Amino acid sequence: MDLNSIGRMLAAAGFFLLLAGLFLLLAGKVLPQGRLPGDIFWQKGNFTLYFPLATSLLLSLVLTLLLNLFRR
């Protein structure tokens, strides 16, 4: 692998990370992230447990679909 192809690969990865970051910034204002039905929130006294089960599954599904699109 030559340096030219490594440079292109790093530039493409950086571009997709930038797009993902912008999407997350905008989605945080529009979508109710972390508050989906299926997320576990339990509070008792001064102990709070938050486990984003539904959010994790949804994020995994979206990322799997996107990565499969880019792989082909």
pLDDT digits 0-9 by tens, 24-61: 788 777 766 667 788 888 999 999 998 888 888 988 99
Neighbours of 52 (CB within 10 A): 17
- 39 and 27 housed in the same domain: no
Give the pLDDT confidence score for residue 33 in this predicted structure. 60
- 27 and 42 housed in the same domain: no
Query: Count of domains in the chain?
Result: 2
d(CA 18, CA 22): 6
Q: Is 48 helix (H, G, I), strand (E, B) or coil?
A: strand
- 38 and 72 housed in the same domain: yes
Cβ atoms of 71 and 65 closer than 8 Å: no
- 59 and 47 housed in the same domain: yes
- 38 and 25 housed in the same domain: no
- 38 and 63 housed in the same domain: yes
- 41 and 15 housed in the same domain: no
Query: What separation in angstroms does the CA of 17 have from each of 10, 11, 22, 53?
Result: 10, 10, 9, 24
pLDDT digits 0-9 by tens, 4-30: 889 999 999 999 899 988 887 887 777
Domain range for 41: 34-72
Give the pLDDT confidence score for residue 29 in this predicted structure. 73
Give the pLDDT confidence score for residue 14 in this predicted structure. 93
pTM > 0.85 = no
